[in-house]
Amino acid sequence: MCRYYRFNNSMEKVDWCRSIRIIMKAFNDENTDRNNFDNAYKVKNFLEILPVANLLNKRNPELYQSGRCIRCNYTIETWTHIWICNKADTSIIQIINAAFEILKAKLDEKDFRIHYNYHARLLRILNEKPRVVFNGRIFHEAIKGIVNERLFLEMEDKFFKDAIASFVEDIHDMARKFMWSERCKSFNEWEIKQGITKQMKKTAKSIWYEIGVEDLWKYNSLVTFRSSNYASNFSILD
């Protein structure tokens, strides 16, 4: 995983300073249960190891017999898929547009003018394929908290770059607050219907329960990635 990011970063311009501020924000606060919960989410989200159906199926096939998305029942539920599932209550375009309204208000407050439709241009960029996220789009990077320099629209103004970083952070935060929370609620309801209890999940035998933090960097060797035509063809502009 570490080599994967180093390799792709050499071909993709990412503002890692601003990205790390977003991703590591909760780590700088007091050590509380809430912050630990937030930190765990951010690490798992960044490494694409949130407990999606595909990963749960690999961990505990005796409990989760399929990795298929329980909402659309159409494709394998991977980290990439949860943000583009067409049965999600909140769509990624709604998240992006809400974040854009905040961005626009910030720029208007400082009378920062851009004399073209930068909303449309940002949407096109967010819809482009990146090199940091496998089989995803630049908005998937934003969901991780990664600030792709394409979003700076070739501007060098510090205020604008900071505003774009805040735009990415808003996408990152709202994707969790709405999309991930809604998905977890649906999945928990599905587990109850399937008779999967918390105790069953605790006692289930799995090689994944023995993995330490240092092993997360070997994630690529533990999981076989499978491409998805659905994800490849997905567009927020449709």
Show the tokens assigned to 153.
Answer: 């629209």
Of 91-95, 191-195, 229-233, where does mean pLDDT reach its minimum? Answer: 229-233
Kindly report the backbone phi and psi dihedral angles of residue 47, in degrees, each rounded to the nearest multiple of 5, phi listed first. -85, 0
Q: Is the residue at 198 inside a domain?
A: yes
pLDDT digits (tens, 9 = 90+) for 94-115: 999 999 999 999 999 999 999 9
Give the domain range for residue 87. 2-233
Whole-angstrom Cα distance, residue 177 to residue 151?
23
Q: What's the pLDDT at 187?
A: 97
Evaluate if residue 191 carries a pLDDT over 50.
yes
Query: Which residue(s) pair with 148 in the sheet?
Result: 14
Show the tokens assigned to 53.
Answer: 């159906």
Of 26-30, 43-47, 90-94, 104-108, where does mean pLDDT reach its minimum? Answer: 26-30
Q: How far is CA 236 from the centre of its chain?
A: 15
Which whole-number Å values give the CA distances from 158 to 31, 102, 112, in the listed order?
A: 32, 18, 12
Q: Is the residue at 149 inside a domain?
A: yes
Domains identified in the chain, total number: 1
Q: What is the mean pLDDT of residues 189-198?
A: 94
Whole-angstrom Cα distance, residue 106 to residue 123?
18
Other C-beta atoms closer than 10 Å to the C-beta of 192 total: 10
Opening angle at CA 210, ends 208 and 214, nearest 5: 90
% of residues, the chain, pLDDT over 70: 80
Q: What is the mean pLDDT of residues 37-45?
A: 92
Q: Is the residue at 179 inside a domain?
A: yes
pLDDT digits (tens, 9 = 90+) for 120-159: 999 999 999 998 888 899 999 999 999 999 999 999 999 9
Evaluate if residue 209 carries a pLDDT over 60.
no
Q: What is the mean pLDDT of residues 11-24?
A: 89
- What's the chain's Rg over C-alpha atoms? 19
Q: Is the residue at 70 inside a domain?
A: yes
Q: What's the pLDDT at 28?
A: 66
* 156 CB-side CA count, 13 A: 0
Evaluate if residue 22 carries a pLDDT over 60.
yes
Instruction: Give me the long-range contacts of 59-64 (CB less than 8 A, separation at least 24).
Output: 59/204, 59/206, 59/207, 59/208, 59/209, 60/201, 60/204, 60/205, 60/206, 62/204, 63/196, 63/200, 63/201, 63/204, 64/196
Q: Is the residue at 9 inside a domain?
A: yes
Q: What's the pLDDT at 12?
A: 67
Average pLDDT, the chain: 86
Q: Is the residue at 184 inside a domain?
A: yes
Q: Is the residue at 238 inside a domain?
A: no
- In 3D space, the residue among 50, 46, 48 whose CA is nearest the CA of residue 16 turns out to be 46
- Identify which has the larger pLDDT, 111 or 207: 111
Other C-beta atoms closer than 10 Å to the C-beta of 101 total: 12
Q: What's the pLDDT at 135?
A: 87
Q: What's the pLDDT at 205?
A: 53
Evaluate if residue 182 carries a pLDDT over 60.
yes
Whole-angstrom Cα distance, residue 147 to residue 152?
9
Q: What is the mean pLDDT of residues 35-63?
A: 93
Residue 7's pLDDT band (cuts 50, 70, 90) = very low
